[in-house]
Amino acid sequence: MGLALLGLSLGIQLAKADPEKPTTAAQGKVLVAYYSLTGNTEKMAGGVVAGSSVCQEPTATLKKVDEVAKEDLESADLGAIAGAGLRLGLSTHSYWEVCRAWALQPSYIACGPIHPTRAKRMPWIAQGNDNLAYWCALLPLPVVAIAGMDGPRAAQAMQCGAAGVAVISAITGAPSPEAEIARLAQALQAGRLLPRRASPELPQSTLQRAY
C-alpha cells in the first residue's frame, strides 16, 4: 500500500504539470507498484499511470508488488523512497546478490532460502543457519531470514542474529493462522534469549557446481 501511495503522489505531481510545457524535473521512468486485495488500489494505481501520460516525460510502468524485481530498483530514486517514510528491503540468495543489494543501501536485506521451500522454484541451495549467522554478523543492517520457516526454525534464526523472519506456508497452511502467528511470535522471543550462534569465516556456496 505504501508503494502505491508513493506512486500516487508522483502521479499527482506529474498530472499537475502543464502538458504545453514539458518538465525536466521529473524526466526518466516512474514505477508504480501496488498491492490490491479488492481491486480498488489497482484502479488507483492505474489512474496514476494514466495521469502521468499528460507529460512527455517520464514514462510510467504499472506492476504488482510481487512483480517488482531488484533490477527495477537499480535506477530508482531511493532518496524519494526514504523521504516518503517507506522501508526498502531486498531479497538475496548469494554473495554477489548481497553485494548488489548493499550498494543500493536498503533498510534491510533478506537472505535465503535458509531452508528448502515449496513456495517457488529456485536454483539456489538452502543456505542453512551457518550462512545466516555469517550474513547477520557481516552486514551492518537488519537481516531477515526467508524460506522454510516454522516455529523452531524461527527461533534458530533469532539465535543467528536475524532481525526477523518471512513466513508463508507455516501460516497459510495452519488450521488456525492466528494461533500459528502467536506461536511464531513466542518462538521469535525465545530465540532472542538463546546464546548467539557462532559465525563461520566464509559462507557456503548457494549454487551447485557445474561439471
Fold topology of 89-205 = TIM Barrel (3.20.20)
pLDDT (0 to 100) of residue 190:
95
pLDDT value, residue 137: 95
Query: In the prediction, which pLDDT does 57 show?
Result: 59
Please tell me the predicted confidence (pLDDT) of residue 4.
Answer: 39
With a cut of 70, list the residues of the chain below it in pLDDT. 1-29, 35, 51-58, 70, 73-75, 208-211
Residue 58 CB burial class (10 angstroms; 0-12, 13-18, ≥19): middle
- Summarised one tens digit per residue, pLDDT across range 36-50 is 777 777 887 787 777
Contact call for residues 40 and 47 (beta carbons, < 8 A):
no
Per the CB < 8 A criterion, the answer to whether 147 and 127 are in contact is no
> What's the pLDDT at 18?
45
Q: How far is CA 185 from the centre of its chain?
A: 20
Q: What are the structural domain ranges in the chain?
A: 1-86, 89-205
Q: What is the per-residue pLDDT for 104? A: 81
Give pLDDT, residue 209.
Answer: 56
Tell me the pLDDT tens digit for each residue of 49-91.
776 665 555 677 888 877 877 677 666 777 777 777 777 788 8
What's the pLDDT score for residue 52?
65
